[in-house]
Structure 1
Amino acid sequence: MEHIALYRAWRPQSFQDMVGQQHIIQTLQNAIREQRVSHAYLFSGPRGTGKTSAAKILAKAVNCERGPAAEPCNECEACKRITAGAVMDVLEIDAASNRGVEEIRDLREKVKYAPTEVRQKVYIIDEVHMLTTEAFNALLKTLEEPPPHVMFILATTEPHRLPATIVSRCQRFDFHRVSLEEQTERLSLICSQEGITADEDALQYIARLSDGGMRDALSILDQISSFTGGHISYEQVVNMTGGIPSEQFAQLASALKQGNAGQVLQMIEGFMEEGKSADKCMENLLYYFRDLLMIKMVPNADKLTERVLNPDHFEQMAKGFTRDELFRIIDILNHYQTEMKYAAQPQALFEVALLKICSVPQSTEAASQPGAKVAEASEVKQLKQQLAALEKKLEQLLQSGVSVNGTKDTSPSVRSSGSRSAAPRVSSKSKIPSHLDQYIAHKDSEEFVSIQKAWSKVLQRVKEVKVTIHAWFVDGEPVSVNGDNILVAFKNNIHRETTEKAANKQVIERVFEEQLGKPYQLVTMMLKDWNDSIEGKAEAAAEELTLELEHEDSKNKQPWIDEAIQLFGEDLVVIKE
């Protein structure tokens, strides 16, 4: 006897057979009971969730000889013939193959004729988003005011591609992905009816692979049952589908945590020898770390993801990573997954991504230890004290007569022993923003640090708004903030000038307000000028503080010498008796 694929043999024939779409079933059944059936429906949702099946069941329900009924009897001649596709008045059209205006005009001509075999004509148009614009226009008037004996049911996986004029003329029902629990229960029922024995974790893994599509789950079950000979185990499902067990992901995650690049490369090579694809491995690994992050940050997070079959195992693994580490790993994997779509050698990018994770120092973990936090706080405090002392000395120098251009008076107590200019060195080829000293003073402020953290989002949003502006703007990097101005330094002057154009600058400043939470203005300069300014400022401070101490009292002189040596080292301090 000819074998029928499981997804065909177990296709729902009544509303009660459908899995996971109770919100739609109840609405349609109530409409039939109350005789409030609409003339046009739009069924949208992911593949394999029951859109076309629901359309055929609805066609049987309104045409059942014992109805219209909330459930078709599937015993009368009308129900049997509609199930077999033998009723000319219930027409299923594939819009992918009949997408032109001529086919729709032909349909529009036939609509006006009364049904000959059943109570109501039903037109089921599958993948309706494939119709051309002209075909939609031809369908529009008929869809709005069809004859009373006609019902249209449109099915699509991409409702956003339908004209709003079409959508507004239909009652829309959104089909959801079937939950893991409902899929597993349905698969278990089918296995018992088909004489297949399967482990529960194997059925759960099949359900996870289907991504919420019941048809995909049945196709995988059909394929694996043919291979295994009657009993399906978790290991067999993983091997046949090219998946990776969570235990292997745990080993890979441990190797990444330890920075063991050799073990990571050996595991990748093992995956490839087993026939795994690099892009699928990358996708699954990204999901694995995403689940670790959810487990770490959200209580009872195992309920938020259908991939976590063993919450205790995930919790134990999540304890070995800090939140910052997991965020960093996910960012790296996501970046290389995007690049992998266009790569000729995806395995190489997969290896590079994992090696990059291994090579980044685990500084976040060390910082999370109590002793490390104390040491870090002490170091920061010391640096702040040194910075305050430096600023105080600079203020004293300015008050004692040192001007901005580097000239100075002949103060008897403090004289510069250096001959180079104390003014910041800048290029004369590009404009320098006013108040540059204030930008230099704010280059390490908390406000600027927060802007740096959000800069990748700013660039991504500029790219989404206008990719040509992003191509010029990405050459710059933020270097400081002053009030409502963000200073961006460019390596290339052409890129800077193009970014400064009014139209481009307006787009960027609009993105600033959207992503940073307040309006900012864009100020630009060349990166070389910025670096020269920073270096010149530092040299000026160092040279002016190479002090000639002429105090006769050694008790008063020694603290100045010690502080100067501590700040700048013995090489830059000149002591003259």
Structure 2
Amino acid sequence: MAYLVFARKWRPKDFEEVLGQDHVTITFKNAISLKKIAHAYLFAGPRGVGKTTVARIFAKALNCEKGPTEKPCNQCISCQQINQGINIDVLEIDGASNRGIDDIRTLRENIKFLPIYGRYKIYIIDEVHQITQDAFNALLKTLEEPPPHAIFIFATTQPHKVPATILSRCQRFDFRRIPTSLIVQKLKEIAQEEKISIEEKALFSIARFAEGSLRDAEVLLDQLSCATNGDIKMEDVVSLLGILEQDLLIEIVEKIKKKEISSLLLLLDEIVSEGKDLGIFLNSLIERFRSILLYKVMKEETANILDLSKEELTELSQEAEGFSKEELFYILQILIHTQEIAKRTISLRLSLEMALIKISQREELSSLEEIMRRIEDLKNILPEEKKDKIILEKNTVVENNSIVEKKEEIENTKENNEEISLEEIKKDWGNFVEEVKKFKMHLGIYLSEAKLIGLEKNILTVGFTKKISKESLEKIPIRQALEKKLKEIIKRDIRLNFILIKEEPNLTENSLEEQNNPLLTKFLEKFGGTIMKGEEIDLS
């Protein structure tokens, strides 16, 4: 008999053997016992969590000679053929290779024929999201009103790509990632039955690497059993998967704790020399410090989130002792930032070296509450006349929910609230315009044409006759720069408000001469006339 890989050999044969999907299996068992069988189902979830397996078990439960039953016998011809994938009434279709409208038309033609052996004709379409839009449209009517003997089961890892018109015609079941503890338990059973010797640490490493996929974990166990002749050590898992040894991670964390820069860089060089993937190294380091941070916050309850063994939890508690929460926030921020930079740079090693140096050169960080308490203590100690200026030798500030160290002076300056008049501003306005012209000539020209309208509550209203001048100056960055420059000149905080005003009529030279002509003035006084523009005279 041909060799069967573990993923196929240990595939669940009934609902009871399915791991981590109780919300799905219980529903199906109840549906069978209550005889409430729908005509279309959609199974959504990540790879290797049991979507196709549950579809097969459901098909066996419906077409079993002793069924419909919650527990198929796996002995009758129908069950055996479904297990082998050769049952003519249960058709497994690959959505990636049968995605066109012609394939769906063929399916529609064949679906009207009654099943040959079983009670139902069941279509299991895997990766259904890869079917074309036209093919989905051709399937709609059949899916909405299929023959009473037909059942559709769709499986997909990307349900968001399935049209809403298809989703609304199906009962949807979301499959979850399988917990690490359940995967470890299953791998132990397989190892025992297959007479494989494997270390506890190796089991947990395989289960974590599988990221909730039991099939992936079984494939890795199968591969390792061949590579090691049935005697699997942690070193073998590290070698095959390219992950970092736990001891090496613990050593790196310890050197970061002690701020040993040289040793850290030498360790990184050793990792590179051994050909390990630096991307995996960075991810492992982030995960490790995440675990330490969670332990710092949750203590023993961390084991429930991270699926840790007692030995690993003890190691984590020892690592957490030398770090404050503020330090862990700081370290994680740098590592995650390095991960983002790595996507845009060629040399990941350089980015990692910079990150490790920066982490190792960190100084002791204080929490925000501790800083505020120290400031209050200093205020109480200092004389009254010195309380308006407090200088800390080392202080920290909060930036993006993390603590970043800075050496700066924190001053409590008294705001100068003395009022200033519009006339005083007008006196300095010319200097202000000249200063603006030095860095932006066109802005200075716009301001030179402006008219100061009024000042109210430190808001200076400035009028412009041209729309372009107003719109250019009222842009937020420009207006803020102008307010800053104005403050430097008049030593006051003034906000600028720009408005449009009507252009005042200009008196021409001719009109001024006419008004100043003494002969014309006497003539107007004697006869009571007025000066009128040429276009206003009506000669009719």
TM-score, normalisation: structure 2: 0.72
With 66-75 and 81-90 compared, the bigger mean Cα shift is at 81-90
Q: Deviations over 1:277-331 (max 9, x none)?
A: 1111111111111111111122422222235762232223223222222222222
Q: Deviations over 1:135-179 (max 9, x none)?
A: 111111211111000000000111111112211111111111111
Q: Does the CA-based 8 Å contact 2:432-2:485 persist in structure 1? A: no
Q: What does residue 125 of structure 1 align with?
A: 125
Label 1:9 to 1:261 Cα distance change in 2 as closer, same or farther (>3 A).
same
Give the 3-state SS of the residue equivalent to 2:436 in structure 1: coil
Distance in 2 separating the partners of 1:323 and 1:377: 23
After TM superposition, list the pairs within 5 Å mapping 1:255-404 onto structure 2: 255-299=255-299, 300-306=301-307, 310-359=312-361, 361-365=362-366, 374=374, 377-378=377-378, 384-386=387-389, 391=414
Structure 1: gaps of 5 or more residues: 409-420, 440-495, 501-522, 541-577
Q: Which amino acid aligns with 1:525?
A: I
Q: Deviations over 1:367-398 (max 9, x none)?
A: 8989x964785289867513899638x56xx5
Distance in 1 separating the partners of 2:320 and 2:179: 25
Q: Does the CA-based 8 Å contact 1:136-1:166 persist in structure 2? A: yes
Q: How much has 1:354 moved relative to structure 2?
A: 2.9
Q: Does the CA-based 8 Å contact 1:60-1:78 persist in structure 2? A: yes
Q: Does the CA-based 8 Å contact 2:14-2:57 persist in structure 1? A: yes
Q: What does residue 203 of structure 1 align with?
A: 203
Q: Does residue 153 of structure 2 align to residue 153 of structure 1?
A: yes
Distance in 2 separating the partners of 1:191 and 1:55: 27
Label 1:72 to 1:97 Cα distance change in 2 as closer, same or farther (>3 A).
same
After TM superposition, list the pairs within 5 Å mapping 1:64-75 onto structure 2: 64-75=64-75
Q: Deviations over 1:111-130 (max 9, x none)?
A: 11111232210100001111
Q: Does the CA-based 8 Å contact 1:40-1:171 persist in structure 2? A: yes
Q: How much has 1:220 moved relative to structure 2?
A: 0.9
Distance in 2 separating the partners of 1:525 and 1:36: 69
Give the 3-state SS of the residue equivalent to 2:152 in structure 1: strand
Distance in 2 separating the partners of 1:499 and 1:192: 76
Give the 3-state SS of the residue equivalent to 2:135 in structure 1: helix
Distance in 1 separating the partners of 2:122 and 2:286: 45
Q: How much has 1:534 moved relative to structure 2?
A: 7.4
Distance in 1 separating the partners of 2:96 and 2:144: 22
Give the 3-state SS of the residue equivalent to 1:93 in structure 2: strand
Give the 3-state SS of the residue equivalent to 2:115 in structure 1: coil
Distance in 2 separating the partners of 1:350 and 1:436: 56
Distance in 2 separating the partners of 1:19 and 1:499: 64
Label 1:199 to 1:68 Cα distance change in 2 as closer, same or farther (>3 A).
same
Q: Deviations over 1:520-543 (max 9, x none)?
A: xxx433786677567668899xxx
1:525 to 459, 474, 478: 478
Q: Which amino acid aligns with 1:123?
A: Y
Distance in 1 separating the partners of 2:474 and 2:184: 55
Q: What does residue 113 of structure 2 align with?
A: 113
Q: What does residue 490 of structure 1 align with?
A: none
After TM superposition, list the pairs within 5 Å mapping 1:30-69 onto structure 2: 30-69=30-69
With 262-271 and 175-184 compared, the bigger mean Cα shift is at 262-271
After TM superposition, list the pairs within 5 Å mapping 1:335-484 onto structure 2: 335-359=337-361, 361-365=362-366, 374=374, 377-378=377-378, 384-386=387-389, 391=414, 427-428=436-437, 429=440
Distance in 1 separating the partners of 2:221 and 2:456: 68
Distance in 1 separating the partners of 2:474 and 2:281: 40
Q: What does residue 181 of structure 1 align with?
A: 181
Q: Which amino acid aligns with 1:64?
A: C
Q: How much has 1:203 moved relative to structure 2?
A: 1.0
Distance in 2 separating the partners of 1:155 and 1:209: 24
Label 1:80 to 1:320 Cα distance change in 2 as closer, same or farther (>3 A).
same
Q: How much has 1:258 moved relative to structure 2?
A: 4.2
Q: Does residue 160 of structure 2 align to residue 164 of structure 1?
A: no
Q: How much has 1:262 moved relative to structure 2?
A: 2.4
Root-mean-square deviation over aligned CA pairs? 3.8
TM-score, normalisation: structure 1: 0.68
Q: Which amino acid aligns with 1:391?
A: K
Distance in 1 separating the partners of 2:365 and 2:64: 67
Distance in 1 separating the partners of 2:329 and 2:487: 32
Size of the alignment, in residue pairs?
A: 444
Distance in 1 separating the partners of 2:282 and 2:458: 46
Give the 3-state SS of the residue equivalent to 1:355 in structure 2: helix
Structure 2: gaps of 5 or more residues: 391-410, 448-453, 460-470, 494-540
Distance in 1 separating the partners of 2:51 and 2:412: 73
Q: Does the CA-based 8 Å contact 1:404-1:422 persist in structure 2? A: no
